Structure 1
Amino acid sequence: MQLSLYFGFARDAAQSQMPRVIVRTLHLALFLMLAGLAAASVEAGAQSSVSGMVRDSAGVPQIGAQVQLIKSDLTVAANVYTNSKGHFVFASVLPGSYAVKAIASTFLPSLRENVRVRSATVVNLTLNTLYEVMQWLPAQPRSASTQKDDWAWTLRSAANRPLLRCLEDGPLVVVSEGPNSQPRLKARLVASGQQGTFGEDGQRITMEIEDTPSTSRELLARVDFDPTTNAGMESMLGFRQDLGFAGSVESVAAVAMHPEIEDAGGNGAGSGLEEVAVRTTERMQFGDAAEAEVGTQQVMARFAQNSPNTILSEMPFATVGWRTGNNEIHYRMATAVPAPGMDASGTAGVLPALEMANGKLVVERGTHQEIGWERRTDASGVQILVYADSIGNPMLEASARPAGGMDFAGQALMDPASGLIRTAGEGFSTAGVVASVEHRLPGGNSVRLSYANGDALVISGARGAMSLSALAGAARPRRTQMYSLSLSGTIEGTGTRWRASYRWQPEETLTRVSPYALDAAEPFMNLHLRQPLCRVRGERAHSIDAIVDARNLLAQGYRSFVLNDGSLLIFAQEQRSMSAGLGFTF
């Protein structure tokens, strides 16, 4: 750079001293400015570093923890692992703003946002387990100047951030989002009577804690027990943490104890089924265009007494999606087969189906892969996907009508209350297509049409009486199709929420086509109603709802077979079941 300054004065020597002073001052200012620009350019081109330690809450260095350096545009700039001392280094980093994320097995991810990198920057991260993050503490102000909390107890995070609060004389509620906003009510109690469902006949009482509206952390909880049986219970506890632009992490643990379920024909030996499942999920976002979800589901199951074996199974899953406008393309891999009557907020979505086969307790599982395209607008949606499945221990469910002593001990699980049994069929592989169209109707109603093809198990060659193992072994896959129509909405004036569906596939098929399909209708005619009986608005909303849920209303798809001891088995894709009760939200 060349800079020329010209000054001209037509005055005497005495008066020319002032311009010389001004010129020297300008030269000095120009020199300092050029020196600053040179230093800034050198700093901009310099490479900085980011280093630090990764420890657990006890201060123990974590070896082999994955550490990511994330740019402001959500892309990963670098990826390293901690050494034997828990130390990590990003050697060459351009100055700027970053996020540093640490990931290790059995720990919740740790994220440090808005890390300003100008030279050698040190970032130390602490990894916590799920149980360390949450703890019940008395609600005390954090400083003398802080206004005293009016809540009796509060569930706080390790950073002393409130998650849930409990009034001394009130129910469990969530933290309000702002100083002037009201907390949303959390608790829901449902008392119902059910009939025709495996492991759920009789009276049921369910206490459920819904998701909190917190933008950072949520708690999920559910307890479901049957007072008509000997301490039959299902429960679920989950925790979800939002990691900002990096995604979220979720851990859900579910426990089921069904003392009434036993090894059919075992004369009480091995009675009392226990099942535990832990599902961990991490959802990662890459801008507005891409999202990935990976996780695993670990399952342990056994009989409470005289257990012939114990199931220990790990079932991973993953989904990757790309969005452009209203279109989305995704890939999904899953291993756990969704249990019948799966509810995304309940234990049925976490606990897979169990059966007996060849004297051993087994779990229904397989390998599912799909590639799909979806287009959604405010008024409609279209989805098409192709899939390939390899299913092991496919579940066969039947209503048993014994004639004297049953001779299929070690071949089926039995629920004496409902008279239903579950056994495992021969594994098979299949591939097919699933397509659906959804459209919103006036008044907030919607209609959905679906089609699928693939293989389902059929028992076609059974003649005369035979044993249960031979009958289950005779089930063979057959190529078939499925059609379904679903309608849902709310009736104006009464506030009745309803959902009706009809799913058809050949009645001789004993299993579903495309069992891994999400949002699939239950087989044959189904109806769900929820009618508000009492609504109280205000600071604390209360409601009482009547609930009716009926599945396979027309009792379709039943296939009967006679065993060699004279017992009658009636198989079906979905057993006819009825459930009704009252739901209290407070």
Structure 2
Amino acid sequence: MKLLQTVAFVLFGLSLTASSSFAAHNFGKLTGIVADPAGNPQMGATVWLTPEFAGGRAIELLTDENGIFVSQRLRPGLYSVKVTLAGFMPSIQDHVSIGASVNTSIHFELDSIFASLDQLRRKSPKAAEPDDWKWVLRTSSSSRPVLQLRDGTVVIANSSRDEKDDQPRISVQLNNGSVRPGSSSALPGYLGTSVSYDQSLGSAGELLMAGEFNYDQAVPGVFGGSVASIWLPTGKFGEGPETTLIVHQSHLGDSGRSIRSMRFEHSEQMVLTDHVVLEYGGEYLSGGFVGALTSSLRPHARLGMRLFPHWNAAFLVETDPDAYGLRTQVSAQEPAIDALQTGPTLVWGNGNPVLNGGWHEEFAVRHDVGARGEIDSAVFRDDSRHQAVYGTVMGSADSSSPAGPFPGPFTNDAGAAGFWGTRVVYREKLVDNLEVAGVYAWAGALAPNDQSTPLSDLREMVQTTYRHSVAARVAGRVPKAKTQFAASYKWISGTVVTRQDLYSETAMAIDPNLSLSIRQPLPSLRRAGHWEALADFRNMLSQGYVSLASPDGRMLVMPVERSFRGGVSFQF
């Protein structure tokens, strides 16, 4: 354990000393041209760049009117490049080498379908993916841009850099609460407004900003606000370096305190070899109220390796589950607004705040199953000096509560705890608009031990226990209505007062018990902007609540509180 901590701190030190100039020179560039057998450039061809090393993500491009596509800031390594165009046979070039600070050029000559019937009769050595035949409405290369059919919607793609939009985007959300447990805004009925603004910085990348304000109409003086910013040098969330700053402040009633917190995080990526990539970084956390502040400096690192074709392995060290979940959910539609809910969690003990978190070490192996599925198996260890238990004190004047008489759920200190665990995950994309996942885990958590002690000594009322759990998640999109949905359920074999396998839950967006999320596009007024209705239901059946009785009162513990977050989102 000490060795792992030492290695993690060394990696964090490297992240602080790595300069921006080093990161800028650690990327390569790929330029290509697509033509027919007669040498005529082909506009509107779809180009997929798929890394052949672990940890990479596929990139989609379109050729311009000259048949050219360009992708910059690529991590060095081997890539598979695939080109598809209606009326032509798909073409694939494997093992395309991208070097640091090098512009690699490739050329594709597409064969006509009618001239290649003999190839169609033979079995291809590489299975075609469902999107190999992606139809494009093509127009004259000298007049109008390409119109591409994407998810049933026609969009304009007049450049090869289709993956980046230089126009600023503004999003406004009106909702009635947050889904983050333990915070004042997690209670149902809290009104809130969130605003995000995405601005391109040209060659410097993209800046995502968001702010939120929420308040309670029933309790005077209860309100809070948050601001978040994410700088993406590559212009893509989840791909490349990221710098995040989040600041929170909550006022908990006329007689309560004003609580502040901050999180500053920076992450980098480094390609060590063609089959090994290192992701590393760290974060600075602080929080509390006037006269009682706490802070912490924490590293994180992930080493990904490609062992064999279709086999990958990873070793990771993490210290903050919220930040880890945000980094791994690269499909987030509003990452800046999601970042508002990833500030540091303060644990209260004897009236003083400490920062929740600890060390999470994990070794995982992934195997691709067919073209659409994968299975992961992992062994992990969680250690924390201050284990958080979310609960509301009832029937007792708890002097240690930061909110005074305000009856909200707060994080209580259950002392030091450590758990081993193992999990198996199977994920598969059944069709283009439907994905499923199943998780089995055996891991430790805190559970009641039936001892009657004062609430101020919560650590004597709980004990470490190991539980089995089975979870499932279904996510997809209804094609015609364009409704996006995600439903999950997690069953645990016994009573617990803390989360079991928290890092897997945050990464896969699976909460204990039954949860449902829906995003429904609404008709836009005069085609201006994009409207969506939002609905997030967490722990819909109010399961998992535990009552801890003591001589001086009772605490209602809720690993995940029942909550609803609904509203509308407007983007323009």
TM range (shorter): 0.5 to 0.7
Q: CA deviation at 1:72?
A: 9.7
Q: Unaligned 5+ residue runs, structure 1?
A: 1-62, 75-111, 116-174
Q: CA deviation at 1:338?
A: 2.8
Structure 1 residues 435-467: Cα deviation after superposition (integer angstroms, max 9, x where no partner):
10011223511111001111100112224xx42
Q: Structure 1 333/293 Cα, relative in aligned 2: closer, same or farther at 3 Å?
A: same
Quote the residue 1:87 is aligned against. Answer: none
Quote the residue 1:278 is aligned against. Answer: 264
Q: CA deviation at 1:359?
A: 3.2
Q: Is the 8 A contact 1:195 1:418 kept in 2?
A: no
Q: CA deviation at 1:332?
A: 0.3
SS at match of 1:575: coil
Quote the residue 2:49 is aligned against. Answer: none
Q: CA deviation at 1:220?
A: 1.7
Is it true that 1:327 corresponds to 2:311 in the alignment?
Answer: yes
Quote the residue 1:312 is aligned against. Answer: 295
Quote the residue 2:244 is aligned against. Answer: 252
Quote the residue 2:430 is aligned against. Answer: 441
Which residues of 2 match residues 79-478 of structure 1 at below 5 A? Answer: 113=101, 183-184=166-167, 186-194=169-177, 197=181, 198-200=183-185, 201=187, 202-210=190-198, 217-228=205-216, 232-242=224-234, 248-260=240-252, 268=256, 271-286=257-272, 288-304=274-290, 307=291, 309-323=292-306, 324-338=308-322, 345=335, 346-348=338-340, 350-376=342-368, 378-401=371-394, 403=395, 406-410=396-400, 412-414=401-403, 419-442=408-431, 444-463=433-452, 466-478=453-465
Q: Structure 1 415/331 Cα, relative in aligned 2: closer, same or farther at 3 Å?
A: farther
Q: CA deviation at 1:283?
A: 1.2
Quote the residue 1:29 is aligned against. Answer: none
Percent identity of the aligned residues? 19
SS at match of 1:338: helix
- Quick one: distance in 2 between partners of 1:329 and 1:261? 49
Q: Is the 8 A contact 1:408 1:467 kept in 2?
A: no
Q: Which has the higher contact order (CA 8 A, sep 6+)?
A: 2
- Quick one: distance in 1 between partners of 2:526 and 2:204? 27
Q: Is the 8 A contact 1:199 1:415 kept in 2?
A: no
SS at match of 2:305: strand
Quote the residue 1:546 is aligned against. Answer: 533
SS at match of 1:242: coil
Q: CA deviation at 1:537?
A: 9.6
Which residues of 2 match residues 20-59 of structure 1 at below 5 A? Answer: none
- Quick one: distance in 2 between partners of 1:482 and 1:199? 29
Output the amino acid matched with 1:422: T
Structure 1 residues 7-32: Cα deviation after superposition (integer angstroms, max 9, x where no partner):
xxxxxxxxxxxxxxxxxxxxxxxxxx
SS at match of 1:521: coil
Structure 1 residues 314-338: Cα deviation after superposition (integer angstroms, max 9, x where no partner):
0110011113543321110012243
Q: Is the 8 A contact 2:207 2:232 kept in 1?
A: yes
Structure 1 residues 98-137: Cα deviation after superposition (integer angstroms, max 9, x where no partner):
xxxxxxxxxxxxxx9469xxxxxxxxxxxxxxxxxxxxxx
Q: Is the 8 A contact 2:386 2:416 kept in 1?
A: yes
Output the amino acid matched with 1:387: F
Q: Structure 1 373/250 Cα, relative in aligned 2: closer, same or farther at 3 Å?
A: same
- Quick one: distance in 1 between partners of 2:411 and 2:242? 31
- Quick one: distance in 2 between partners of 1:177 and 1:215? 16
TM-score, normalised via structure 1 length: 0.62
Q: CA deviation at 1:286?
A: 3.9
Q: Is the 8 A contact 1:413 1:423 kept in 2?
A: no
Q: Structure 1 574/214 Cα, relative in aligned 2: closer, same or farther at 3 Å?
A: farther
- The worse-fitting range, judged by mean Cα deviation, of 337-346 and 277-286 is 337-346
Structure 1 residues 347-405: Cα deviation after superposition (integer angstroms, max 9, x where no partner):
3564221111133211112111111111345411211111122122111111333x3xx
Q: Is the 8 A contact 2:295 2:355 kept in 1?
A: no
Structure 1 residues 36-93: Cα deviation after superposition (integer angstroms, max 9, x where no partner):
xxxxxxxxxxxxxxxxxxxxxxxxxxx998997989999xxxxxxxxxxxxxxxxxxx
SS at match of 1:194: coil
Q: Is the 8 A contact 1:199 1:418 kept in 2?
A: no
Q: Is the 8 A contact 2:487 2:515 kept in 1?
A: yes
- Quick one: distance in 1 between partners of 2:519 and 2:169? 19
Output the amino acid matched with 1:315: R
- Quick one: distance in 1 between partners of 2:390 and 2:18? 46
- Quick one: distance in 2 between partners of 1:221 and 1:330? 31
Output the amino acid matched with 2:398: F
The structure whose Rg is larger is 1
Equivalent of 2:548 in 547, 556, 561: 561
Q: Structure 1 372/415 Cα, relative in aligned 2: closer, same or farther at 3 Å?
A: farther
Is it true that 1:497 corresponds to 2:489 in the alignment?
Answer: no
- Quick one: distance in 2 between partners of 1:72 and 1:356? 45
Q: Structure 1 204/333 Cα, relative in aligned 2: closer, same or farther at 3 Å?
A: same
Q: CA deviation at 1:505?
A: 1.1
- Quick one: distance in 1 between partners of 2:250 and 2:461? 30
SS at match of 1:259: strand
- The worse-fitting range, judged by mean Cα deviation, of 374-383 and 272-281 is 374-383
Question: What is the Cα-based RMSD across aligned positions, in Å?
Answer: 3.7
Q: CA deviation at 1:216?
A: 5.6
Q: Is the 8 A contact 1:443 1:492 kept in 2?
A: no
- The worse-fitting range, judged by mean Cα deviation, of 219-228 and 452-461 is 219-228
Q: Structure 1 209/339 Cα, relative in aligned 2: closer, same or farther at 3 Å?
A: same
SS at match of 2:353: strand
Give the number of equivalent residue pairs.
409
Which residues of 2 match residues 525-540 of structure 1 at below 5 A? Answer: 525-535=514-524
TM-score, normalised via structure 2 length: 0.64
Structure 1 residues 124-171: Cα deviation after superposition (integer angstroms, max 9, x where no partner):
xxxxxxxxxxxxxxxxxxxxxxxxxxxxxxxxxxxxxxxxxxxxxxxx
Output the amino acid matched with 1:331: F
Q: Structure 1 448/243 Cα, relative in aligned 2: closer, same or farther at 3 Å?
A: closer
